[in-house]
Structure 1
Amino acid sequence: MAEKNNQASPSAAATNGQHPTVDEESAILPSQELKRKKRIKLAIYISAFVVVQIIVITTFALTVMRVQSPKLRLGAISVQTLNASSSTPSFDMTFTTQVRIKNTNFGRYKFDATNVRFMYEDRAVGQVRIPKSKAGMRSTKKIDVTVSLNSKELPSRSRYNLGNELKTGVLSLSSEARLAGKVELMFVMKKKVCQNGMHFGV
C-alpha cells in the first residue's frame, strides 16, 4: 500500500503544476516567439519613422528654410527724350522702366530704400530712388520709375569713347544697386544683402 502511494506521488506532483507538461511547454514557446516578433516589428516601425522624419526635416531645411538673395532687374525701357551729339560727345535723356525685385524665398522679403545708379564706363550719369517696400513670398515686386541721365560729369577720355559710340547709334549703359533687407521665415528674421549689376543698351 505504501509502495502504491509512493508510485503515485510523482504524477500527482506533476499534475499539481510543479513541472510543466509537454503540451504546456509547446504552448509557451509560440507565445514567446510571437512577443519577440512583435518587438522586432515595433523596432522596425520606429526606425522607419525616425528615418522619414530626418528626410523631411533635411528637405525642409534645404528648401523652405534656405534663404537666397533676391534678384534685382530692369524691365523694358521706354525712351521719353534723348538729345545726343557725337561731334561734342554728350547726351541727355529720360526714360521709363520697371525695377523688378524677384523674391524666390518661402517668406516675405522686406527691403530698405536704396538708389539704383546708372553709369557709363563706371562713371555715374544718374540715379533713381527705390522706396522701402516688400516682396511677397516667391513673387516679384515691380516698381515703375522715371530716370533722367546726362553726361555732364564724364571725363574727357570717356567723352572720346562716347563720341565713337554715338556715331554707331548705340549708347551702352550699366546700373547697380545695393539692396539690404530681411526675409521672414517661420517668424524668424534673417538678414540678406543683395548687390546687383545690370547692363543694357539704348
Structure 2
Amino acid sequence: MATEKESGNAKQLAHPSLDQEAAAACRWRSAHYLRRRRCAFWCFGCFGAAVIVLGITALVLALTLFKVKDPEFTINSLSLAGSHFAVANGAVDDDVLSVFLFNFTFEADVSLKNPNVASFRFGSTATTFFYEETAVGVAYAPAGEVGADRTVRMTVRVDVMTNPVARRMNVTAEKLVTGVEVELKSLTEVQGRMKVWGMYKRDLDVKVSCDITLQVSMAYQGIKNTRCSAAVE
C-alpha cells in the first residue's frame, strides 16, 4: 500500500494537476501585467515630464527671448537746410499790408532701433508738418527692414510751405526786423510688422510727434527748440 501511495505522489510531482498549472499561469500573467503596468507608468511619466519641461521652456522663451519689444524711433537732430522769403499783399484788419511768405527746408536725422531677436519690416514713412492743424509740408522715406538688435539711420528732407497759412501768421516787415517765433508741429508715423520664427506676428505702429519753435527774422532763421514724444500702438 505504501508503495502505491508513494508511486501516486511521485506521479503527481512528475505531472502537476490542472489547478497547479492554472495557478502557475495566473502568477506568470500577473507578473507580466505588473511589468507592463510599470513600463506604462514610466512611459507616461517621462512623457508628462517632457511636456512640462517643454511648456516651461516655451513660457520662459515667450517672456524673455521671444517677447516683442517696442521699436525706438528717435529724431537725432533737426536743422534748417534752407529758407526763402517772398512778399504778398494781404488784408489784415481792413488794412492792406505786405505779408511775408517764407518757405523752409528741414533736414532731419532719424534712427529706428529694433531691440528684438527678429527683424522688423516697415512700410514707407510719412512726416507731416502742421501750423495750427493745417498741413504745410510732407516728407516720405522709403520702406525698409531693421535686422535683429540693429539700428538704421535715415536723413529726411521736407519743404515747409507757409503760403496756405501766411495771413493767419500775419508776419509783416516790421515784425521781421525784431524777429518772430513760429510754432510748428510734426507727426512721423512708421507702420511695420514683427515676425518671430514665422510663428508669432505683431503689427506695430510707431508715432513720433514734435513741437518745433522757429526763430525767424530777416537776418536769422533757425530752430529755437524742439520737443518730441513717441508712442507705440
Bin for the TM-score computed over the shorter chain: 0.5 to 0.7
| CA root-mean-square deviation | 4.6
The letter of the residue matching 1:52 is V
**What does 1:49-64 correspond to in 2, within 5 Å?**
49-58=50-59
Pick from 7, 10, 16: which aligns with 1:8? Answer: 10
In structure 2, distance between residues paired with 1:168 and 1:28: 104
CA positional deviation for 1:140: 2.5
Aligned to 2:205: 194
In structure 2, distance between residues paired with 1:156 and 1:37: 91
Pick from 146, 152, 175: which aligns with 2:157? Answer: 146
Higher strand fraction (1 or 2): 2
CA positional deviation for 1:176: 2.0
Normalized against structure 1, the TM-score is what? 0.63
**What does 1:98-109 correspond to in 2, within 5 Å?**
98-109=109-120
Aligned to 1:41: 42
Aligned to 1:179: 190
CA 1:65–1:198: 2 relative to 1, 3 Å:
same
Q: Which deviates further from its counterpart, 61-70 or 89-98?
A: 61-70
The letter of the residue matching 1:42 is C
Q: Which one scores higher on RCO, CA 8 angstroms, separation ≥ 6?
A: 1
Gaps of 5+ in 1: 161-166
* Matched-pair contact (CA < 8 Å) for 1:71–1:196: no
Tell me, what secondary structure is at the counterpart of 1:75?
strand
Normalized against structure 2, the TM-score is what? 0.56
CA positional deviation for 1:31: 8.2
Pick from 124, 133, 136: which aligns with 2:135? Answer: 124
Aligned residues: 190
The letter of the residue matching 1:41 is W
In structure 2, distance between residues paired with 1:169 and 1:75: 26
In structure 2, distance between residues paired with 1:168 and 1:105: 47
The letter of the residue matching 2:14 is A
Q: Which deviates further from its counterpart, 35-44 or 65-74?
A: 65-74
* Matched-pair contact (CA < 8 Å) for 2:121–2:145: yes
CA positional deviation for 1:199: 1.5
CA positional deviation for 1:83: 8.2
In structure 1, distance between residues paired with 2:56 and 2:199: 22
Q: Which deviates further from its counterpart, 191-200 or 113-122?
A: 191-200
Deviations 1:43-87 (A, max 9, x none): 211101012223334555676667677554322223445789xxx
The letter of the residue matching 2:159 is S
Q: Which deviates further from its counterpart, 115-124 or 71-80?
A: 71-80
Q: Which deviates further from its counterpart, 142-151 or 180-189?
A: 180-189
In structure 2, distance between residues paired with 1:144 and 1:19: 92
